[in-house]
C-alpha cells in the first residue's frame, strides 16, 4: 500500500544527504522537511563522506555539476554503498552535454543506485550510454502517452532489470519499475512543468521515502511519485485568479506538508502492470 | 510594439542558458518559465560551452562570480558569439570590487554583448572602465531622475554607441537604448528594491525576450523592462495587510505568469527619445 | 530596550556581507532586506576581502562550505577584524563532520567573532573543540528546557567569557549572553523547525542588528532573536487551513518586513539573568 509508505515516513525521522544543484536546492530542502524527513547538503569531497555516514539515504542530482562536486558525488556514493544506504541518482540534463552524460553513466555504473529517477530523455540517454540496447527503440516517442504505454513499460522494465535499480520515469504518465512490476501513475498536472525543480523536489522526497521504507523500495518510490502528483492536483485546486507558478510552487510544498497516508490513498491514481 | 514582443515570446519556446549567482538563481529560473521560456543553468567550463550550444540565448550575471565560473562565462560567451546567439551581460556589483569590475569589463570587451543591463552605478563603472569618457559626467547624480533625464539619456546612448550593445539602465526611471533611440520607461514600484534579485530576474527574462525577438532586440529589451515594472505594479495591487517582501516576490513572478501582450500594452508607460 | 535596536536598524542602512550556504541564501538576503538592511554575497577569496571592506558587518555561515570558500571566509574575516566590523559566526553542522568542526573552531580562534550563533549541539561542539571545559557538562541534555535552564545559562555564560564573543544558542528557549548577562527568550514556534534555514536567516538578520547597534551588541543580538521568534508567532497566526511550511517561510519574512520597535516591544518575551 502506497499510503503505508507515507505513514512510515511520518513515523521515522529519515535524514537525507543531498548533493544537488544550486538552482532548486532550497525547495528540495523544504519538501524533504514537508514530508517528515530532514535534509543535509554537503558537496565538498572532504565533507561529503562523513556527512553521508550520519545520514540514512543519499540523493545525487547532477544539475549544475562541476569539477569540484563530481568527486564529492563519488566519495559520498561509495560511502553510502559501503554502509548499505539507499542511493538515488537524478541524471539532470543527461544527453544535453557530454559532461552530464558521462558523469551520470559513470555514477550509475559505479554506484548501482537503488533508484534512478529522471524524465524520459534523460533515462533514454542512460539506456544508450550504458551500452544496453534491449527495449530501446528510437521510434518510441519522447513522451510516454497512452498510445505507446506498453512499449514504455517494457523499456523501463528492461532498463531496471539490466541495471538492478528501480527506475522512475516521470512525465504526464509516470512509470516506476523494479524490472518485475511497473507502477503506472496518473497523478499530476501539466502546470507543474512551469515550476523549476519539481523533478528535483521529487528526487529529494523519493530518497526520503525509500530511506524510511527499506523493505519496500519499489512501493516507496511509487508512493513518492503519486504523492508529488497529488500535491500538484491539490495545490492547483487552491489557486486563485492572480496566482501563478511562484505561488503554485509554494502550494505544492504546502500540500505535501499537509498530506498523510490517508490523503494519499484517497487521491492516488495508479495501476500495477 | 512592445506587446508583440511578449506575444512572440509566448509563441516560441526560447531556451536560455544562465550563468548566474546562487543567491537569486531560483527566482531567475521561475520568472523565465513564467514568461514562456525555459531556463538551463550550467557554469562549469567543461559543461557551459555544450549547454550554450543547445540554447537560443545566454545570460551572464557576475553576482557570486568565482575563479571556477569566470572561465565558464568566457567559454559559454565565445560559443554563443560563434553561433550568433544573443548574449546579455549583467555586471552585478561592478565597481564594488576589482574582481567584479575587471571581469565585467573583460566580458564586455571580448563578448560584445547584445545587451548590457545594470543599475546606474554598475553602468557608470563600465563606462569608466572601458576607457571611454564621452557622455560621462561625474556631475550626473547616481540616480536618473526627471531632473537629470536628458543627461542620463545622452550618457546611455553614447555608451550604447561606443560598445555596439543595447544598454539598459534600470532604476526609478528605466532607460533602454541602442545608441539611436532611447526608451524611457516609467513602470515599477520602489518596493521592488526590497526584494533580492529583481534585477537578476529581469536580466533572465530580458534574455528570453531578446532571444525570441531576434529582429527587434531593442524593442524586446524595452518590453521586458516594462513588463517587469508592470508586474511589480500588478503584484503590489494584490498585496494584503500582513504581506511583505517575500509574498511580493512571489506575486511579481505570478504577475508575469499571467501577463501577455494585451496586458502589457495596456499597462506599459514609456516614451521614445 | 530591544525595541530601540530595531528602530536604529530601520533608521540606518546597514550593509551586510554574507558568506553563506547556497541552500538558504535567498531567504537570508530577503530577510536582511525585510529588516531594513542590505545584503551582499561574495565568497571567492579574491573578491571577499574587497566586498567586506565596503560593508558594515560580516556574516560567516559554514553550511555547504568547501575548499574554495573557506579561504574566502578567512580573508573576509581578517579584513573585517582589521576594520573593526562586527563578525558573526554560524557554525552550521559543527560536530557533524571534521571539516565543519575544524573550520568552525579555526574561524572562532582566529577571528574572535563578535557573535557566535548556533543550535545547542553546534555550540557544545565548539565548547569542546576549543579545549575549554568549564561549564560544559555532558549531562546537560541537548535541548535547553525549563528543567536544565540554570545549567544552560551557566554554560553559555562561561563560553561567552572564555571566547570574548557574544554567544547565542537558539532552540525552544533561546539564550544570548556576553558572559555577564544572559537574555532568556521565549518567543517562537516549534513549526519554525519545519522550514529550512530559519537559523541561517536569523544569523543574517542578527549581523544586521549588531552592525546597526555598535554600542549595544548584546541587546542587538537578543533583539534579533526575539524578533525572529515573534515573526514566527505572527506568521503562524496568519496561516490558513491548506498552508504549510513553504507559505510559513514567506509569512515569517513578511512579518519581519512589517515589524518595528513598537511591535517587537509588545511581543518580546524575555528575562535577563
- How high is the ipTM of this complex? 0.95
Mean pLDDT of the region B185-201 = 97
Candidates A97, A241, A248: best to mutate against B (most CBs of B within 10 A) is A97
- Is A255 in CB contact (< 8 Å) with chain C? yes
pTM above 0.80, yes or no: yes
Confidence of residue C163 (pLDDT cuts 50, 70, 90): very high
- Are C44 and C72 a contacting pair, CB within 8 Å? yes
Q: Do C197 and A29 touch (CB under 8 A)?
A: yes
Q: Report the alpha-carbon distance of residue C4 to residue A226 in Å, rounded.
A: 51
Mean pLDDT of the region B211-220 = 98
- Residue pLDDT, tens place only, A191-215: 999 999 999 999 999 999 999 999 9
> What is the model's pLDDT at position B142?
74
Tell me the nearest-neighbour CA distance from A214 into chain B, angstroms: 32
Confidence of residue A119 (pLDDT cuts 50, 70, 90): very high
> What is the model's pLDDT at position B135?
34
Q: Which residues pair with B38 in a beta bridge?
A: B15
Tell me the nearest-neighbour CA distance from C272 into chain B, angstroms: 31
Residue C166 in grid coordinates: 557574544
- Residue pLDDT, tens place only, C178-227: 999 999 999 999 999 999 999 999 999 999 999 999 999 999 999 999 99
- Of A26, A65, A195, nearest to B44 by CB-CB distance is A65
- Residue pLDDT, tens place only, B52-69: 999 999 999 999 999 999
- Residue pLDDT, tens place only, C104-119: 999 999 999 999 999 9
- Of C34, C46, C252, nearest to B99 by CB-CB distance is C46
Tell me the nearest-neighbour CA distance from A45 into chain C, angstroms: 8
Which B positions 41-100 lie with beta carbon below 8 A of chain A?
Answer: 41-44, 46-47, 50-51, 54, 68
Instruction: Return all residues near B102 (Cβ < 8 A) that are at least 6 apart.
Output: B129
Confidence of residue B130 (pLDDT cuts 50, 70, 90): low
Report the DSSP pairing between strands A38-41 and A15-19: parallel
Mean pLDDT of chain A: 94
Confidence of residue A132 (pLDDT cuts 50, 70, 90): very low
- Of B27, B30, B44, nearest to A66 by CB-CB distance is B44
Q: Report the alpha-carbon distance of residue B220 to residue B173 in Å, rounded.
A: 18
Mean pLDDT of the region B234-242 = 97
- Least confident stretch, A125-134, B186-195, C59-68: A125-134
- Of B43, B249, B257, nearest to A245 by CB-CB distance is B257
Q: Report the alpha-carbon distance of residue A23 to residue B40 in Å, rounded.
A: 10
Tell me the nearest-neighbour CA distance from C204 into chain B, angstroms: 14
> What is the model's pLDDT at position A141?
56
> What is the model's pLDDT at position C141?
56
Q: What angle do CA C93, A61, A264 make, to 5 degrees?
A: 90
Instruction: Return all residues near A253 (Cβ < 8 A) that are at least 6 apart.
Output: A27, A30, A31, A34, A201, A231, C244, C245, C246
Q: Do A51 and C244 touch (CB under 8 A)?
A: no
Please give the C-alpha separations between residue B36 and each of A188, B39, C268, in angstroms, as whole numbers. Answer: 20, 10, 45
- Of C66, C98, C197, nearest to A43 by CB-CB distance is C66
- Residue pLDDT, tens place only, A67-118: 999 999 999 999 999 999 999 999 999 999 999 999 999 999 999 999 999 9
Chain C residue with minimum CA distance to A33:
C194
Q: Report the alpha-carbon distance of residue C206 to residue B122 in Å, rounded.
A: 29
Q: Give partners of A (≥3 CB pairs < 8 A).
A: B, C
Give the neighbor-by-neighbor strand order of the sheet with A182-185. A38-41, A15-19, A57-61, A87-90, A115-118, A166-169, A174-177, A182-185, A270-272
Tell me the nearest-neighbour CA distance from A34 into chain C, angstroms: 7
- Residue pLDDT, tens place only, A240-264: 999 999 999 999 999 999 999 999 9
- Residue B50, H or E segment: helix B45-53
Tell me the nearest-neighbour CA distance from A30 into chain B, angstroms: 14
> What is the model's pLDDT at position B138?
37
What's the number of CA atoms in the CB half-sphere (13 Å) around residue A135? 21
Contacting residues of B for C33, CB less than 8 Å apart: 194-196, 245
Q: 573576509: which residue's cell? A: C76
Which C positions 212-241 lie with beta carbon below 8 A of chain B?
Answer: 234, 238
DSSP per-residue letters across A189-256:
-GGGGGSTTHHHHHHHHHHHHHHH-TT-HHHHHHHHHHHHHHHHHHHHHT--TT--HHHHHHHHHHHH
C-alpha of A51 from chain center: 21
- Is A263 in CB contact (< 8 Å) with chain C? no
Percent of the residues in chain B that have a pLDDT greater than 90, as a whole number: 94
Does A120 have pLDDT greater than 50?
A: yes
Tell me the nearest-neighbour CA distance from C256 into chain B, angstroms: 8
Q: Report the alpha-carbon distance of residue C271 to residue C182 in Å, rounded.
A: 8
Q: Do B245 and C33 touch (CB under 8 A)?
A: yes
- Is C246 in CB contact (< 8 Å) with chain A? yes
- Is C168 in CB contact (< 8 Å) with chain B? no
For C216, other C-beta atoms within 10 Å of its C-beta total 18
Q: 559554514: which residue's cell? A: C62
Does C132 have pLDDT greater than 80?
A: no
Mean pLDDT of chain B: 94
Q: Report the alpha-carbon distance of residue B116 to residue C254 in Å, rounded.
A: 32
Q: Report the alpha-carbon distance of residue A121 to residue A117 in Å, rounded.
A: 11
- Least confident stretch, A142-146, A169-173, C229-233, C264-268: A142-146
Does C30 have pLDDT greater than 80?
A: yes
- Is B117 in CB contact (< 8 Å) with chain A? no
Q: 515570446: which residue's cell? A: B9
What's the number of CA atoms in the CB half-sphere (13 Å) around residue A130? 25
Confidence of residue B131 (pLDDT cuts 50, 70, 90): very low
> What is the model's pLDDT at position C130?
57
When computed from its CA atoms, the radius of gyration of chain C, rounded to whole angstroms, is 17
> What is the model's pLDDT at position B1?
82
Amino acid at each position: 500500500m502506497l499510503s503505508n509508505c507515507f505513514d512510515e515516513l511520518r513515523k521515522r525521522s529519515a535524514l537525507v544527504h543531498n548533493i544537488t544543484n544550486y538552482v532548486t536546492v532550497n525547495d528540495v530542502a523544504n519538501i524533504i522537511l514537508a514530508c517528515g524527513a530532514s535534509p543535509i547538503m554537503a558537496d565538498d569531497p572532504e565533507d561529503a563522506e562523513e556527512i553521508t555516514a550520519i545520514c540514512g539515504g543519499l540523493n545525487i542530482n547532477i544539475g549544475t555539476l562541476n569539477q569540484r562536486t563530481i568527486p564529492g558525488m563519488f566519495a559520498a556514493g561509495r560511502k553510502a554503498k559501503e554502509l548499505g544506504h539507499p542511493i538515488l541518482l537524478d541524471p539532470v540534463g543527461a544527453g544535453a552535454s557530454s559532461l552530464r552524460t558521462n558523469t551520470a553513466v559513470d555514477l550509475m555504473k559505479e554506484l548501482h543506485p537503488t533508484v534512478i529517477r529522471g524524465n524520459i530523455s534523460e533515462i533514454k540517454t542512460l539506456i544508450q550510454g550504458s551500452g544496453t540496447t534491449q527495449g530501446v527503440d528510437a521510434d518510441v516517442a519522447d513522451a510516454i502517452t497512452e498510445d505507446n504505454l506498453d512499449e514504455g513499460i517494457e523499456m523501463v522494465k528492461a532498463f531496471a532489470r539490466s541495471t538492478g535499480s528501480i527506475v522512475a520515469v516521470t512525465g504526464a504518465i509516470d512509470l516506476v519499475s523494479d524490472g518485475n512490476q511497473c507502477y503506472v501513475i496518473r497523478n499530476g498536472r501539466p502546470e507543474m512543468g512551469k515550476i523549476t525543480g519539481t523533478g528535483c523536489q521529487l528526487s529529494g522526497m523519493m530518497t526520503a521515502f525509500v530511506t524510511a521504507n527499506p523493505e519496500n523500495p519499489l512501493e516507496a518510490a511509487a508512493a513518492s511519485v503519486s504523492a508529488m502528483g497529488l500535491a500538484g492536483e491539490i495545490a492547483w485546486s487552491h489557486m486563485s485568479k492572480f496566482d501563478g507558478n511562484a505561488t503554485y510552487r509554494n502550494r505544492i510544498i504546502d500540500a505535501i506538508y499537509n498530506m498523510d497516508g490517508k490523503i494519499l490513498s484517497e487521491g492516488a491514481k495508479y495501476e500495477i502492470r
